[in-house]
Amino acid sequence: MRAEAGRAARRAVPRSSHAEWSAPSTRRDPVALLEEQEQTRVPELVPLRHERMLASPFAFYRGAAVVMAADLSGPANTGLLVQCCGDAHLANFGGFAAPDRTMVFDINDFDETHPGPFEWDVKRLGASFEIAARSRGFDAAMTQRIVRQMTRAYREAMTEFAGMRNLDVWYSRLNSDEILARWRGKVSAAAAKRVEKNITKAETRDSMRALTKLARPFEGEFRIASDPPFVVPLRELGLGAHTDEQEAMLHERFAVYLRSLQGDRRLLLDGFRIVDFARKVVGVGSVGTRCWIALLMGRDNNDPLFLQIKEAEASVLEPYGVKSAYTSHGRRVVEGQRLLQAAGDILLGWLRAEGLDGVTRDYYVRQLYDWKLSPQIDTMSVELLTAYAELCGETLARGHARSGDRIAIAAYLGSGDTFDRAVAGFSSAYADQNDRDYAAAVTAFAVPAKR
């Protein structure tokens, strides 16, 4: 029955149809979409958002999830719903510490997570590899092969998950040792050694490392160091008489966050005290959203904890997908992350807070540094980018298998490469569209293009 649902979807929306992309006459102006999104952002940070997005076509693609969401909503979709990442580009995958202190590989950004057809995530991921490979100077044949390998890995992993028991799917995860073992047969010894070195380095990126980078000693304690506009301590935000009021609100809202955690995690955080707050600029497309970091201390000054408190707005998929089950966008992000990730942050939670401007906003909270390992796209060879593409495809399939009907999706995809080739065709056409949108944004925002 479940497999028949997938085959029925294939008849309604042939796999080859996913190759199609051309901008319809009714397409929204991408610059207008970005400007509309920026209406809720911190005004003085919007120019920095433009600067980061317009550094390259790939940087623009990273920040333009709202544009692609509108584009993906146009064609007929399979109706095979999953918990979409919503922004499944290749830089939103990486390594981090699981609760058992093992380095795992997974999706690591969920601001846009929302239910939607599985192919929306696959297409966004495919186009990101097309754009990244072009930026590396790889020829068209190499680039298309990378995208096909990503989609093939997704398809074959989904078939494997379809044959697994429910609990086995849920417990499945990829750790760094397994990845290195796989890659030793696929990439050069030098590339494997470099990846291993990066993993070892990532394992030092914890709160103690963050303390040396983000804080300075002050009267026997630590305070977050000023580095405007990227990091601005609360005391320097120019709030005047409202500074104490803002700090009191943050402390009060922290208590609300604690109520979103399991009892054991609340008990853990009871052993910490809040030392300082600062506003921090994060990401590319996220620049301008309200993001705080909190420095907490536990037993003594050698026991720091940094938490990130990030604003959660409506997902870019929300206008085009099913209605969210949650009234809080912070909770939407947290619940979506828990569905998609095999091993998540034990301190992941959410809260709602009213700002000094009287606007109530949603936030989610997570650890700021926990062995974060990001892909070094600018230095990846063809072989390494291909291996990384396969890893991302498999990881996305696992998240979708946990949250959607893996048997129906596997039946839709089938055993041939029709879907693989279609996604590669779409990715090439959409990369061309991204170049046109990037050029339009450079002109509109008057930021010199950097290629």
pLDDT at 425: 98
pLDDT at 25: 92
Residues 134, 277, single domain; the answer is: no
Residues 360, 383, single domain; the answer is: no
pLDDT at 449: 47
In a domain, 450, yes or no: no
Residues 283, 216, single domain; the answer is: yes
In a domain, 329, yes or no: yes
Q: Identify whether the C-beta of residue 368 lies closer than 8 Å to the C-beta of residue 308.
A: yes
In a domain, 34, yes or no: yes
Q: Tell me the C-alpha distance between 236 and 14, whole Å.
A: 57
**Domain hosting residue 224, numbered range:** 207-367
pLDDT at 242: 67
Mark which of 313, 341, 367 sits at the end of a domain: 367
Mark which of 367, 400, 418 sits at the end of a domain: 367
In a domain, 308, yes or no: yes
Residues 190, 213, single domain; the answer is: no
Residues 359, 408, single domain; the answer is: no
Residues 113, 72, single domain; the answer is: yes
In a domain, 451, yes or no: no
pLDDT at 338: 95
pLDDT along the chain (451 residues), means of 10: 94 96 94 96 94 96 97 93 97 89 92 97 98 96 98 98 97 89 80 83 84 91 94 84 76 90 95 94 92 94 94 95 91 97 93 85 92 84 94 97 97 97 98 98 76 44
Residues 110, 220, single domain; the answer is: no
- Give the global pTM: 0.94
In a domain, 372, yes or no: no
Residues 310, 387, single domain; the answer is: no
